[in-house]
Amino acid sequence: MLFEGLELVSALATLAACLVSVTLLLAVSQQLWQLRWAATRDKSCKLPIPKGSMGFPLIGETGHWLLQVFSKIFSHEALESYLPKIQLVIQDTLRAWSSQPEAINVYQEAQRLTFRMAVRVLLGFSIPEEDLGHLFEVYQQFVENVFSLPVDLPFSGYRRGIQARQILQKGLEKAIREKLQCTQGKDYSDALDILIESSKEHGKEMTMQELKDGTLELIFAAYATTASASTSLIMQLLKHPAVLEKLREELRAQGLLHGGGCPCEGTLRLDTLSSLRYLDCVIKEVMRLFTPVSGGYRTVLQTFELDGFQIPKGWSVMYSIRDTHDTAPVFKDVNVFDPDRFSQARSEDKDGRFHYLPFGGGVRTCLGKHLAKLFLKVLAVELASTSRFELATRTFPRITLVPVLHPVDGLSVKFFGLDSNQNEILPETEAMLSATV
């Protein structure tokens, strides 16, 4: 226990040092960038330069423009087009899980699933399975070293992260070039298509480097937090079989489990998922009790008072999502997993504006929140209708919060496929079905 405590302290210290270093670097560089533009004003003209931010060095306000394009990527129309593809990826994955004779590590496999979803659905890449597996391993190495100290020394985490990023970008460039050359036979516009078309609408042709950076950012946005939430969802359905059964009852009532069978591809639509009230409650409760990230950072725009103290304009502050959920007076029995707290009869989240914020709040709320909720809902529907699963260990694992919330050493679970009558499918039959997909 002592060594585990020391490891946690070391990890937190490393993360804190990294965040402080990055924050200071960004603050200094932005001020210098602002001075650079102020120095270029025409001194013969008495008029002032326009008010507002000049953005960050080199990239300027490109980030703000990209955020406007991400809004299109996660629009209602875009999500509707992603839905059948997401369902297919999840169905293939659950079929593969249930074909395994041994238990699987859910957290690791959830990471693989969300990576696959990002590459196949969001980016529309047709990468061979072997290459996709290799790319996933490299991506994991990249993510594991994201919060390393920025010291470029041999064998350092920073160096490993840079090397992984270079390999990733090489693989992504190959996939992008193949995608740009093959435009036939597509039945939907993926996120990368929208990104490219939006840039053309703004009179800008994206460079290959911008495309590689954009694709890497999209994968990152869809990867760690969604894998964390997916693992928490499966763990809570294991812990609370009554919740799983109530979810199945709702699916039957809505005609999505015909004779006990699973929803076929194409039967799920956004309006269908929106009508599943209890499903929505389950996802909300998972995100309340097991928020993937601890909080976020904001810059104070004007001085305000908090508990008798002033918080000056310009300060950087951190808000804690988990502490907010744990201390919000609107939630009763905060440590209990209770999806019905979000039912229409109780609506505990409606009694205040900022008591429930798993995706942040305000204008900087997570742009991908609707995609994340869509993915979790489809996963829950498929789990409830096509799989039986059980914990492969005596007890549930402990939870760690770094870098995102996840079970220590993963979550070991054995999956079993179900046929149209909710009967268990033998592993050898499941393997044959997987081989035909």
- Average pLDDT of each block of 10 consecutive residues along the chain (437 residues)? 57 62 68 67 59 56 49 89 95 95 97 96 93 95 88 91 95 94 80 90 90 92 92 98 97 77 68 96 98 90 89 90 94 96 93 88 84 97 93 96 91 84 55 46
Burial letters 223-246, b for 16+ CB under 10 A, else e:
bbbbbbbbbbbbbbbbebeebbeb
Binding-site residues: 366
Binding-site residues for heme: 366
Q: Write down the pLDDT at residue 187.
A: 79
Q: Write down the pLDDT at residue 435.
A: 47
How would CATH label the architecture of 64-126+182-273+365-436?
Orthogonal Bundle (1.10)
User: Is 203 in contact with 136 (CB distance < 8 Å)?
Assistant: no
C-alpha to C-alpha distance for 149 and 390, rounded to whole angstroms? 40
Q: Write down the pLDDT at residue 367.
A: 83
Concatenated DSSP letters for 163-206?
A: HHHHHHHHHHHHHHHHHHH--TT--S--HHHHHHHHHHHTT-PP
